[in-house]
Structure 1
């Protein structure tokens, strides 16, 4: 009889321990999924920013924009005698 009580008590403690482990694992899973979602949102924001910056870079480097900026700075195309070629 005493062995049965000890066995039942041991099974109860084991079940309680497994239940606590299951709850802990579930909390860890929720925490990890939250972190993954947060990183995914950050990554998407960075991708959108990169695409906007690429478009802005292409716009700023366009021939028309460069000519406008050069004119604003007082630059002009070289005269015919100002360009020299280097021979190999």
Structure 2
């Protein structure tokens, strides 16, 4: 017998999500905006907090990180040469 075997319950499991860490550059798929993770869920914090790389108004993303994806580059080192 050939084929993939697995537990049928596995199909109901949510796909693994990326776990953003402090300082990571993340894209919020809800807004399409990229921001730096400035706070993560934990004791007394109930959601991710992000801020634009150059500064600006902070916003929140869900505690489960389901709307966050890793963004390329970092605030300190922009990608590529604009020319």
TM-score range, shorter chain: under 0.3
What TM-score results when the alignment is normalised by the length of structure 1? 0.21
The structure number with the bigger radius of gyration is: 1
What TM-score results when the alignment is normalised by the length of structure 2? 0.22
Structure holding more strand per residue: 2
